[in-house]
Structure 1
Amino acid sequence: MTSLLLYLAAALAEIAGCFTFWAWWRLDRSMAWLLPGLASLALFAWLLSLVDSDYAGRAYAAYGGIYIVSSLLWLWLIEHRAPDRWDMLGAGICLVGAGVILFGPRGS
């Protein structure tokens, strides 16, 4: 459960941080938006490093599914655009993949 909360917090930090760059570049916002964005991206990296995993690559791969679902929630809640059925299908496939990575049996 702790890993899931860390993944969700990391996703929020990463998406918010990336959105500040999007807003600056694509929405013509002030460069001042980049400062909290950089802080948010640093927070993302720190949160992801707290996930209990023996290998960084495996933690990052499993995080990918959470990130995709969180991005679609951002699309819906912040950008006011509902994900379509293809978004939902793709997110479901990614969550299954993340589950296989996280919970697959490992040899010793």
Structure 2
Amino acid sequence: MFQTLMLFFATALAEIIGCYLPWLWLKKGASVVLLIPAGISLVTFVSLLMLHPAASGRVYAAYGGVYILTALLWLRFIDGVKLSGQDWFGGGVAFAGVIIIISGWSKQAG
């Protein structure tokens, strides 16, 4: 389960970076050159998402919860926004859902 979670976090970071870099270019006047690593990051995101052994719907459902938590951590530590108690609680609930979904993967066929 730990490997799956780490793969999901890597996947979420690749997606967030792939979207954040164009945002920096469009909204903050950063260099257009950022679109190159953004594209590489999004290709990496897709590639990582395909590495999971479960059926695609289960992978997407579990990944969504990890993405929520990762996006909140990005908001806190990269954007510097203080999270509310509701933010942390919601992230925890989403992550609990991930654990529940992943724990059933070995019991269910593809």
Query: How would you bin the TM-score normalised by the shorter chain?
Result: 0.7 to 0.9
Q: Residue by residue, what CA displacement relative to the aligned partner does 1:2-31 show, whole Å, maximum 9, x if unpaired?
A: 211111111111111110121112212222
**Structure 2 segments unaligned to the other structure (5+ residues):** none
- Find the residue that maps to 1:73 and give its secondary structure: helix
Q: Residue by residue, what CA displacement relative to the aligned partner does 1:29-76 show, whole Å, maximum 9, x if unpaired?
A: 2221111001001101111111221x1111011011111111111111
Alignment identity in percent? 39
1:19 corresponding residue in structure 2: 20
- Find the residue that maps to 2:44 and give its secondary structure: helix
1:32 corresponding residue in structure 2: 33
Q: Output the amino acid matched with 1:6.
A: L
1:96 Cα deviation from its structure 2 partner? 2.3
Alignment of 1:70 with 2:70, yes or no, is: yes
1:44 corresponding residue in structure 2: 45
Distance 1:71 1:59, change over 3 A: same
Q: 2: CA distance between counterparts of 1:61 and 1:80?
A: 28
**Runs of at least 4 residues off by over 4 Å:** 104-108
Count of matched residue positions in the alignment of Structure 1 and Structure 2: 107
- Find the residue that maps to 1:52 and give its secondary structure: coil
- Comparing 22-31 with 39-48, which one deviates more in the overlay? 22-31
CA contact (8 A) 1:20 1:34 kept: yes
What TM-score results when the alignment is normalised by the length of structure 2?
A: 0.85
Distance 1:107 1:77, change over 3 A: closer
**Structure 1 segments unaligned to the other structure (5+ residues):** none
